[in-house]
Amino acid sequence: MAEADPGDPFSRVLLGFARELRAAGLRVGTGDALSYLAAMTPLDPTDLVDLYWAGRATLLSRHEDETSYDQVFRRYFLGEDAALRGQPTFTAESVAKAEAALVMPGPEPATENDEEQPVLGWMASDVDALKHRSFTACTPEELAALRRIMTRMRLTPPRRRTRRTEPSPAGTEPDLRATIRESMRMHGEPPGRLFFRRRKTKLRPLILVLDVSGSMAAYSRHLLQFAHTARHAAARPAAGRVEVFCFGSRLTRITRELTHQRVDVALDQAARTVADWDGGTRIGRSLDELVRTWGRGGLCRGGVVVICSDGLDRGDPEVLALAMERLARLSHRIVWLNPHKGDDPNFRPSTLGMMVAAPHIDLLLSGHDLASLEELAGRLPALN
Amino acid sequence: MQYPATVAELTRQLRNGGYLADRGLATTLLLSLSLHRPVLLEGEVGVGKTEVAKVLADVFGRKLIRLQCYEGISTSQALYEWDYARQMLQIRALSAAEATDETSVDRLFGPKFLLERPLLEAVRQGDQAVLLIDEVDRADDEFEAFLLEVLSDFQISIPELGTVKAASNPVVILTSNRTRELHDALRRRCLYHWIGYPTAEREAEIVAIREPAAAGQLVGKVVAAVQRLRELDMAKPPGVAETIDWVRTLGVLGETELTPDAAGDTLGAVVKDRDDLDLVRDNLAEIISGG
């Protein structure tokens, strides 16, 4: 095929494949599809292997999407039923269970702005009482109000110095470029003063690791909201990086799911990704996975890790101890939110998991009510 | 030397250069050469991402231009910089009459005082260059946006000199270790390929090409041991580079067999983490015996 003409039957087949991928949830742009057509020029379009690899190179841009790609490819070009191979089959029971556990906060009214004023007025009088009420004791209306307050909270991790510099009169490194420029303005005379630069600062990455197992589900839902706010704020320029993980029996990364603008869409998507809201907690294994698959690549390096869990670990405490030790070495600071701590200032960790993790925790907060989340937001910037 | 037109030919030539590319990688590279698109390579550590660019440059007689990314890399380190010290000296050396001359200022901002950095050099060289942008995930986001601009047009504007445009695009290879998510816009611009760990047979072939002096039997043993290491629950599983290192280390010591003693002495070539070392030492006998 010499020309990539979208009208000829062969191109239609290829474009159809791109459409199928899109239907399977992959992000395939028109430009990608055109690249795929163009890719057939140097290759042999009748060779299935060429079709496959050309598509992988042009239509995919993420390692995670490879499984979906393979399934769609098999279905589209080989006519195989993807559900029969590769894809794990869910029994009706497990699906029902998963759905039953996925009680996300109720959908927000679409017209948020119309409603905001009266709610705010109501909140102003009750806000203090509400702040100190445990999430589990709140009525749905109160929870909705809390969620609105949360969307206004900002998580600001501590800052660190970067390698980049900016002009600054109080800086310490001489700015040769600016100095010479000034000198040239004066026909090569040495300038009257030196210009300086100093190192810029940048927010440290923030890594939220939320326990979504049975014992923690009630709290984690609100923390998901919190995570969404933080994640969404991070999309703005100059904000730090925010990564969000959920764990129960295993670890799931939901950072990308939480980038959606609307809270409920994002939370729904995140919930769909987290497949194990089944009540079992393996903190050690999950943190170990975090360190291995993500931490090793450098995702936690120099960051502030916020773990929210009650420390009821069903796994081997030694795994947890090792994972925490590694995580502590990788990250800058570890903050642990344990809702069971409550408002008790003399709280001593009682669960084995908490005791094992304690030596590596820099800051232990409760996170069971809004006031404690505010405390987190307040103390985070000072965690230097 | 011209770039080849078929996948088979490209694979053959890369092999001559000492690199075993599988079908997927070879296809991606061929597409990159014929569609003039950058390639984004991701994969485990030590599977030969950087090596691809080196071999491409080597085999086809292109100049390898490497831009190692790091946090805080700025345009003056990636694009160009004026040689201020020389400019200053030049100004001081000018007589008063020369200084008022229009052309002397122009000369100050001429090519003589321009320090080329990798990206500008690559644009100048055009298709005579292979541009390797290594570990792009280490640079900060702002740099990525800037890179995007260069990669789409292959032209660089220098206010004092004008615009430099590539007559023909260089081959561009980007590598990433996934320490952070790259922006979609950059991914879009590139062809994507994931390099995983090779199978045992393939890894043995790779080692044989890289270390032709090593005995086939030893290579087989080492590769089998490394493959088992990867199955262990290690914090830093060894890559292909470590396998090659291990074979080389054993070769230097004159070992022809992978005995427990020899393996124990040279473990540092493959295992790079203390916890892993403890784990491996406990299981050393099984690992090297194949049991």
Q: What is the pLDDT of residues A221-280, one digit of tens each?
A: 777 777 777 777 666 655 678 888 888 777 888 887 777 766 677 767 777 776 665 556
Report residues of chain A scoring pLDDT below 50. 1-4, 82-125
Q: Helix A9-23 to helix A30-39 angle, to the nearest 10 degrees? A: 140
Q: Are residues A195 and A208 in the same domain?
A: no
Is there a contact between A56 and B193 if contact means CB atoms under 8 Å apart? yes
Q: Are residues A318 and A351 in the same domain?
A: yes
Q: Are residues A289 and A369 in the same domain?
A: yes
Q: Say whether residue A238 is in contact with chain B using an 8 A CB cutoff.
A: no
Compute the average pLDDT of residues B99-104. 74
How confident is the model at residue B73, as a pLDDT? 85
In which domain, by residue range, is A198 found?
163-202
Chain A residue with minimal CA distance to B75? Answer: A164
**Residue A105 lies inside a defined structural domain of this protein:** no
A176: chain B residues, CB-CB within 8 Å: 84
Q: Are residues A38 and A170 in the same domain?
A: no
User: Which CATH number covers residue A286?
Assistant: 3.40.50.410
The total number of structural domains that make up chain A = 3
B137: chain A residues, CB-CB within 8 Å: 298
Q: Are residues A218 and A366 in the same domain?
A: yes
A63: chain B residues, CB-CB within 8 Å: 42, 178, 194
CATH architecture of the domain formed by B7-71+125-195: 3-Layer(aba) Sandwich (3.40)
Q: Are residues A198 and A243 in the same domain?
A: no
**Residue A107 lies inside a defined structural domain of this protein:** no
Report residue B129's pLDDT band, with 50, 70 and 90 as the boundaries.
very high
Q: Are residues A197 and A221 in the same domain?
A: no
Is there a contact between B179 and A297 if contact means CB atoms under 8 Å apart? yes
Q: Are residues A268 and A364 in the same domain?
A: yes
Q: Are residues A364 and A225 in the same domain?
A: yes
Q: Helix A176-185 to helix B84-93 angle, to the nearest 10 degrees? A: 20
Chain segment B249-269, per-residue pLDDT in tens: 999 998 888 888 889 899 999
Q: Are residues A193 and A292 in the same domain?
A: no
Q: Are residues A348 and A233 in the same domain?
A: yes
Query: Nearest-5° angle of CA A54, CA B57, CA B83?
Result: 120
Residue pair A204/A332 in contact by the 8 Å Cβ criterion: yes
Q: Which comes out higher in pLDDT, residue B275 or B113?
A: B113
Percent of chain B with pLDDT over 70: 99
Among B37, B40, B84, beta carbon nearest to A177? B84
Last-in-domain residue among A146, A172, A202: A202
Residue B210, C-beta contacts closer than 8 angstroms, at least 6 positions apart = B18, B244
Dist CA B110 CA B104 (whole Å): 10
**Residue A293 lies inside a defined structural domain of this protein:** yes
Structural domain boundaries in chain B: 7-71+125-195, 200-284
Chain segment A284-336, per-residue pLDDT in tens: 888 988 888 887 667 888 889 999 888 888 888 888 888 898 888 888 899 99
Chain segment B9-21, per-residue pLDDT in tens: 999 999 999 999 9
Q: Are residues A175 and A308 in the same domain?
A: no
| Helix or strand (DSSP H, E) at A116 | helix A112-131
Judged by DSSP in three states, A157 sits in coil
Q: Which range is most confident: B129-133, B152-156, B210-214, B235-239? A: B129-133
Task: Annotate chain B with DSSP letters as a single string.
Answer: -PPPSSHHHHHHHHHHTT----HHHHHHHHHHHHHT--EEEEESTTSSHHHHHHHHHHHTTPEEEEEE--TT--HHHHTEEE-HHHHHHHHHHS-HHHHHSHHHHHHHTSGGGEEE-HHHHHHHHGGGEEEEEETGGGS-HHHHHHHHHHHHH-EEEETTTEEEE-SSPPEEEEEE--SSPPPHHHHHHSEEEEE-PPPHHHHHHHHHHH-TTS-HHHHHHHHHHHHHHHHS--SS---HHHHHHHHHHHHHTT--S--HHHHHHHGGGT--SHHHHHHHHHTHHHHHHT-
Q: Model ipTM?
A: 0.75
